[in-house]
Structures are given as C-alpha cells and as structure tokens.
Amino acid sequence: MNTQKPTHGRFSKRQHIVLRSMRSPLAPTLESYDLEDLLVADASQPAFRRFLDIALRLCNAGSAGLSVLRQNAAGQAIIRWEAVSGALSSYEGTESPRDSSPCGKCLDAATTTVLSDPQRAFPCLAATSPTMSQDLIVPLYDELENPVGTLWIAHHDPALRFGAAEVRIAEQLAVVLSRALRVFENDWSHRQAVVALEAHEVESQAADQRLLVERAGRERAEVAERSIRKALEFKEAEIRDAHHRVRNSLQIAANYLQMQARTTISPQARAALLEGHSRLHLLADVHELLYKGSDAARRICMHDLLATVAATLRKSFAHLSGVVLRTAIEPILLEAGTAIPLASLANEAATNAYKHAFADGRKGEISLTLHLTAEAALVLQVSDNGTGLKSQPVRSTLGLKLMSAFAEQLGGTLVFAEPAGASGTTLTLTIPAAAVHTPLSTLHSPLSTLHLPESPGGVTRKQAIAFLLHHRVTLAGALLETSAIQHRDRAAHVADQPH
C-alpha cells in the first residue's frame, strides 16, 4: 500500500514540467470545467455523477466515486457509495463498515491515500468487478473540519499509475466536492427531516383515525349499554308490576275465601276454606316480597318470608293464647322455586302443630328454625312439646300429605321424630346442597298428584281443596266454584230440615 501526503497544489517548477510532459496536449485541464456551477448550484446524485465523469477524464481512470459517512439502524458507522461513475457504477449504493473499508482508513489517516490492489487488504471489495489495481482516496471535511466522506478514483489497468498531477487534481476536486457535499448533506438532512415529519404526520393521522374509531366504538357501546339498561329497567318494572298484580289477585281471592268461610254452615267446608285462605295468603306474601325486594336475581329472603308466615299463624291461632311460636331463621336468599314450597311446608307443619299438638287446650311452644349446614345443605325444623305423634293421625291428614309432596318437590328428606324422654314432635326437612336452588320454571303444585279421601259431609274434601289450590284454576273459576259449593251446601242443609 502506497500513501502520499496531500500537496495542496504546491509543486516545484520541475514537477510542473513533469506533469505537463505526462499529459497529452489534447487532455482536458481542471480549469476547463466550471465545477463550482456544476455542483454547488445542483448538489444532487446526477450532478455528482457528472462531476465524477470529469474526474475520470482528468485522471484518465476507470472508476470514480463519492463515499459518505452514515450510520445504520443499529447506530454503527458505515461508508456508503453515494455516487459512482465508470466501470463500478453498478455498485452505487453499496455499504460497508467504516473501520473495514479503505475510505474509513483514509479518514483515520486524515490524508490523501493511494492503495495498490486494495481487494487484498479489504474483504468488502472482494466482490467488486473489475478489480482495482490502484485506488486514490481523498478525505472530505465539513466547515468544522469533521470528516464526512471521501472522493476515490480507481485504475483497473495495472499498467496505469497515479502520479503527483492526478493527486493534485483529486485534491482540488475534493475541495469543490466538499462544498457541494455540504449542500447535499443539508438537503439530505432536510429531506430526512421532511420524511420523518411526513412519517410522523402519517402516524399522527393514523393515531387520530384510531382514536376516532375507538371513540365511535365507545359511543356505540355506551348507546347499546344505555339501551340495555333501559330495557332491563323496563323489564324490572314489568316484573315488579306482575308480582304486584299477582299479589293483589291472590289477596282478593284469600279475602273472598275468608268471607265465604264465615257464611258457610258445613264445618268441613269452613275448615277447607280457611286453610285455602291461609295458603293463598302465603303465596300473596311471597309475591309481595318479590315486587318489594331489591335482589336483582329475584331471590327471596327466607328470614322475611318465614317471619311473615309466623306472624300470620300467630294471628290465625290467637285463640290458643297458651301456645307460643318462636323462630330462629337465618337470612338465606332462595329462588322462588325453592322458597315457595319450603315456606308452604313450614306453614303446614306449624299449622298441624297448632291444630293437633295442643288440641286438649294445654300450653306449650312451637319452634320454627332454618339454617345452612357446613356442607351447604338446607335444614328446616318445626318442633313442638305437645301431645306427640302417638295421639295424632300422622298420615291421614291433608296437611301431612302436602308436607310430603312439598318435600318431594324440593328433593329433600322429611323425618318425623319424638324427643327421647320428652313429649312433642320434631319435623326435620333436609335439602342437599345440589337441590337447594330450584329454577322458578320448575315450580308446580304438588296437589295435582294427591289422592284425597272424601269426607262424610255434604261437600267432599277433594272438591273443597282442589278448586282452591290446584295451580291451573283461575281466580274467576275459583270464585264461581266456591259459590256453587256454598249454594249446594245450603240446599242440602235446607233439605235435611223437617217440614
């Protein structure tokens, strides 16, 4: 590798004679080109190529190029062949690491460099064709003397060599090229800034578009949510209104049955009407809790429901002043499909205790409890300290048949027992955890499966109960059938009187 220091145009008289003798009388001279106007007025790649064409002719070389110092995406310094003219013009745009390129070595040396057979020392040039026999490289600097690139001129013919004249021409060309490169770099920086600004504007517009889409999506979601909320509120109001109407209808029916019972002569019919009144009143209380409650799932608080049942029982059996009904009920929320038959069973059990356990007028106590076990099973217990099971017709009464039917509907186990060493009866209903939550759609009346024996009176027990409690009987039908039974009962009573 041969290196020569920059001469900056200072040659001795003898050197000038040698240079003139080396140049053909017809060879172009540097002064014959207006290089300032060529580059400074138009600092672009085509102008650089025309400038390099001039350098080739002035130096009688095979290739010439402008290399600029850049950084890649990883922030590493690279050398880029920004413009190339001559035999290697197809390699324009080639990039190589700064520290392993001949241009980088020239910038490190900070002087004009002439390399012989550069492919041997620099692998980045190994693929270039035709090969370089000699490479003349001149560093380029900005106004602050910072290196920005190089001007290189190459021979491909081994018979040709660069002399002092070519070095001087290259250095003078480099001065003009440095000034033009500043303009080019400023334009390039401006273009890069414009590209970055345009990319930012595109990204900003895309971000704005995304925000608009997201905002539109949120607005649609809010509109849909408001619509759903309104629909739910309307549905909630409809459900509450339905429960309110059902409660009023049941209350009217219960009151009507109570009125009919007061005017009925037959004791059996009166008892059946009053029992029907009690059961309809219980259903009315359930619907009242449903339309007054705030539970979104329409569940019923068993503490409130069974407390209402207990209050109604105390009022109905107020004439048994010596009997006290006590309750211990946990605030358990149940669906109506479970709450209604459970409360009905508790009502039947407590009613049965009032009617049979203290029939002889004795004083006593009835206990009604409801709780959840550790295994989440539901346990209802109704106990008394009355006469006990032995004195009661356990399986023959309607109330006990209803309790068995309710227990079956709830999927629970019903057990009757007498406490050891004491009087009374304890009824225990255990509902396993899997059967505790019953959908409202499965609710049905267990009375349709009962087979009730006829009573010896003028009105059969089956007739008196079926029209009152069967789930498919309408309110109007119930009222009409009640009136018909009352009419037949009065007619039979009149027929039995002596004329």
By DSSP bridging, strand 323-329 and strand 364-372 are: parallel
**Residue 78 counted as domain residue:** yes
How many CB atoms lie under 10 A from the CB of residue 381?
18
* Rounded CA separation 379/372 (Å): 6
How many CB atoms lie under 10 A from the CB of residue 52?
25
**Residue 335 counted as domain residue:** yes
Residues forming a β-bridge with 80: 68, 95
Question: Exposed/middle/buried for 195, CB within 10 Å: 0-12, 13-18, 19+?
Answer: exposed
What is the pTM (predicted TM-score) of this model? 0.45
**Residue 348 counted as domain residue:** yes
Final residue before a domain boundary, out of 178, 196, 214? 196
Q: Are 106 and 140 in contact (CB under 8 A)?
A: no
**Residue 106 counted as domain residue:** yes
pLDDT of residue 143: 82
**Residue 459 counted as domain residue:** no
Q: Are 155 and 134 in contact (CB under 8 A)?
A: yes
Question: Between the CA of residue 386 and those of 326, 363, 368, 419, what are the distances in Å?
Answer: 14, 8, 14, 11
pLDDT of residue 229: 87
Residues in the chain: 499
Final residue before a domain boundary, out of 153, 175, 196? 196
Looking at residue 65, its amino acid is G
**Residue 90 counted as domain residue:** yes
Final residue before a domain boundary, out of 196, 231, 265? 196
Annotate 287-317 with b (16+ C-beta within 10 A) or e (fewer): bbbbbebeeeebbbbbbbbbebbbebbbebb
Backbone angles phi, psi at 443, to 5 degrees: -65, 130
| CATH code for position 410 | 3.30.565.10
Same domain, 192 and 335: no
Same domain, 15 and 146: yes
| Domain count for the chain | 2
**Residue 221 counted as domain residue:** no
* Rounded CA separation 181/398 (Å): 112
Q: Which domain holds residue 325?
A: 318-450
**Residue 455 counted as domain residue:** no
- Divide the 499 residues of the chain into consecutive groups of 10 and give the mean pLDDT of each group: 40 33 43 53 71 90 93 90 94 92 92 93 92 94 88 94 92 85 66 77 88 91 90 77 75 81 82 76 73 63 89 84 92 86 89 84 91 92 84 59 88 88 87 70 41 41 42 38 46 48
Considering only CA atoms, which of 122, 65, 118 is closest in space to residue 92? 65
Place of tokens 């007739």: 463
| CATH code for position 23 | 3.30.450.40
* Rounded CA separation 86/375 (Å): 94
* Cα–Cα–Cα angle for 345, 346, 352, rounded to 5 degrees: 90
pLDDT of residue 37: 54
Tokens describing residue 365: 């106590």
